[in-house]
Amino acid sequence: MPNLRIVSDNALERAASLTASSTAGALAASNLVNWKKSAFWRATGTSARITALFATPEPIQFAGFAFCNWSPTVMMRVRVSEEAAATNLVRYSSDFANGAWSKPSITLTANYGPAPDGSNTACRVQFTGAGQAVSQAAGLGAGVLCSGSIWVRGTASQTIAVSAGGVDQVFTLSGAWQRLKAVGKVSSNNIFAVSTGSGTNARDIQIWGAQLETGGTCTSYYPTGASAATRPAGYIDTWQSYDYDSGWAPACPWPATKLRGFTAAQAASAYAYGGGTYARHWLPAEMQARGLAVDINDPDNVQGYLEACSMVAGPYWSPKYNAASAAVTVLDGSENLQTGGGDTCGKVGFISDEVSIDLSYFEADDRAALTAMARNSAVYPLLLSVFPNDPDPARERDYMVYATRSKSSAIGMKYAAGYTTSITFKEV
């Protein structure tokens, strides 16, 4: 079981942009970077996408949401791009019928079937013999290192050649869509091409998404039209995997808290009264993110739309040993009042959690790290999970808080080689 984790630095506060695929009125994605329960983002339906771009790479090993109305069956997909900006030099990168492409004695059928991105834009290419190619002048100087790629689908065991700069590299097809990648230095034959190579047999294949870029690495595909196009740093579209892709995974697989006095739909949004939930995804390794995309799908949402107050993304800190003990307290501002007639009346107050952790097992390095975090102002919240990815989802839920330090805590010597501290975190 992983030890406790603390995300003390929210990289989203430095995002160059934070956008949502849909927004209900003025409840914009920008509300996700504050820690107010009264200011939140709301989508127009039960699926949405949040995208963040960073001007400089940010360390990311966690992405999650605090105080959201998602159901226990909600699924979340987290993707990270570490890619810098890159230019696709090929024109009309998926429109091979365009005159920018040379294709003598070759039969092409545009919009023949589904492409890798799901659109009906794959192009059928019928080669009749050896040496035939669909090609485009690269426009690069001799000796320049370049990388070319193209998606190809054809009969299994067929061979197809791809040329980046004029040197053929031969690939064997599998029968499914494959992204074929070639790297080379520009020769006197300065072209990007997909061809039969030296094969003498006819070929009947589908192609889509050509890309040529300088350097020795094929980066994620970016479409072009009449001119070359530059993919922004950290760009993440709707279908590619990029440097990290979690796939669809449960975001908050624990039972929702039921609140007396609220309907099922109201309880999800009654954040000030203990409603709502947390969603989380822990990456297996820290990444230097230029872009972050989180897709959410919650068809069982009882309100019919997604909503969240805060989003957190950043690196996490974890000690060598977990807390010696941990306690959760429900802070309830409710009051019981008596009337002149002797009746007891209740005034419902605001509810939040408080988690106290005893870190007597800390070693010196962990004590120093915690001390450094404790020196930050208690005004700024952090995300604490005492039992991340616990086999018991309810325990993970109960000991996860987006919180501030509720009081100063001493970090002192318990004995010659050990330290003791108890720190309390109060949910915002």
Residue ranges, comma separated, of all CATH 2.60.120.260 domains in the chain are 7-82+240-314, 88-231
- What is the distance between the alpha carbons of residues 126 and 106, in angstroms, rounded to a whole number? 6
Strands 178-185 and 133-137, by their bridges, are unpaired
Q: Just give the CATH number of 7-82+240-314.
A: 2.60.120.260
Q: Collapse the DSSP code of 13 into the 3-class scheme (helix H, G, I; strand E, B; otherwise coil) and give the result.
A: helix
For domain 88-231, which CATH number applies: 3.30.70.100, 2.60.120.260, 2.30.30.30, 3.20.20.20? 2.60.120.260
Instruction: Please list, residue by residue across 171-187, b when 16 or more beta carbons sit within 10 angstroms of its beta carbon and e when fewer do.
Output: bebeeebbbbbbbbebe
pTM of the complete model: 0.92
Strands 41-42 and 307-314: antiparallel
Tell me the pLDDT of the chain (428 aa) as tens digits.
Answer: 689 999 999 999 999 999 999 999 999 999 999 888 989 999 999 999 999 999 999 999 999 999 999 999 999 999 999 999 999 999 999 999 999 999 999 999 999 999 999 999 999 999 998 889 999 998 899 999 999 999 999 999 999 999 998 888 999 999 999 999 999 999 877 789 999 987 778 899 999 999 999 999 999 999 999 999 999 999 999 999 999 999 999 999 998 888 888 888 888 889 999 899 999 999 999 999 999 999 999 999 999 999 999 999 999 999 999 888 899 999 988 888 877 777 778 788 889 999 998 878 888 888 778 777 777 767 889 999 999 999 999 999 999 999 988 765 555 545 444 555 678 889 99
- Report pLDDT for 363: 84
